[in-house]
Amino acid sequence: MGERIEVGDRLISYQDVLNLDTREVPKHIRQESRGDFDFDEAPIDIYVSRTWHEKEKAKLWRKVWQLACREEHIPEVGDHYVYEIAGLSYLIVRSGPDEIRAFPNACLHRGRQLKDFAGRCSEIRCPFHAMTWELNGDLKRIPAPWEFAHVDPEEFKLPQVRVGTWAGFVFINPDPGAEPLTSFLGALPEHFAKWDMKNRYVEAHVSKLLRCNWKVAQEAFMECWHAAATHPQTVPYAAFGVCQVDCYETFARFITPSEVVGPMMPGDPDTEDLLRATLDVREGEQLPVEPEPGETARSFVVRTSREKWRGFIGDRVEEWADCELVDNFTYTVFPNFMPWGGVHKICYRFRPNGDDHRTCVMDVFYVSPFTGERPAPAEEVRLGFDDPFSSVAGLGIVGNILDQDCFNMEKVQFGLETATKQTVTFASYQEDNIKWMQRLLRRYVEGE
């Protein structure tokens, strides 16, 4: 948390922001040394153009590291997982106790998908003609081999896709010449080291179809100053509009101070008001917690969060700063993965819906701590276009917040399709990480 930001004529640390009456902070807060972008607009073609979508298929999704699954989805040798993106399909296989391989999900004979869904196998066998490969991709068996005397077994191995793992997440990259995942991620593992995402499990996985381009959906979660209009119930307990935004090479983040009064809050909420908003307790209902005398909402959440996490990680929780126990650390790993840091267990992923550039799939994962033996990962709950997140009990009050976000997305897509102004315009600071993403996207797709 060593970065410093400028507030008026003062250069202060992020932690100092929490000690300010943030309602007095000017609208424009900028960092001393981050977020130097030479553009404040982007063409709407990147959201609505089929031509741009085809470029993404060829130059982004076939060239970039991307989240496929968690390691616990394939814990045993022979376990496999099907990952799909932009009309492409890949098969991720646990080929050995400490080995994961990935292949294009297509038979080398006539192209039939090798696997239609996740499961476990002792060999990779095509359902069409029973062409069979070992788990490592070596050719094992050809029915009627006299028909294929012209096939060299060495050249008939399944082509491999690059695989890397980080913090329990499995990434793939279809580009054989891609840099290693560790190099691509840069300093990200250092940021998450204390939070130990590897020793967590998938408590919930919900995917939902959305009627908008994947970037429209993702960018809705890459800034939080929309909350005053979209999530008014959250305004009393989060300092929206004074987030710290940090942009690195292949990842970015914004940090939202929580349980403090922000500049978009017109009133003066007390401790009980803040906790009611945080816990979604309606007026007239009994507050289910009792802060200590004189305790602020922020110190209450820090104290109780620390004790809750002590049950999972022991006294290592003392290494966590207060802000890691209460504030929202929302990261974006280019291009489409959004893990939250600190005590939060939320991870998002955004993908085109098949080959349709006007619709997308949003995945919500809860990656949670556990005690004892690792629980099995939750089964994916798939929601259609008109199925709300709030229909999934396992998401809790977050489901209602996600539904508020989704309400905007179809309207954004429709507006972009009909707009006469052919650009979108970004905020000067609070949307710097969206500009960071746009810059990287252009680098991949257009070579800029």
pLDDT single digits (tens) 314-329: 999 999 999 999 999 9
pLDDT the model gives residue 171? 98
Burial class (CB in 10 A: 0-12, 13-18, 19+), 368: middle
- Calculate helix-pair angle for 432-446, 50-59, nearest 10 degrees: 80
Give the Cα separation of 363 and 348 in Å (integer): 6
pLDDT at 27 over 60: no
pLDDT band at 38 (very low <50, low <70, confident <90, very high): low
Report all structural domains of the chain as residue ranges with CATH numbers, in order of start: 4-48+187-446 (3.90.380), 66-177 (2.102.10.10)
pLDDT the model gives residue 139? 97
pLDDT at 33 over 80: no
pLDDT single digits (tens) 76-130: 999 999 999 999 999 999 999 999 999 999 999 999 999 999 999 999 999 999 9
Give mean pLDDT, residues 372-395.
Answer: 97
pLDDT band at 403 (very low <50, low <70, confident <90, very high): very high
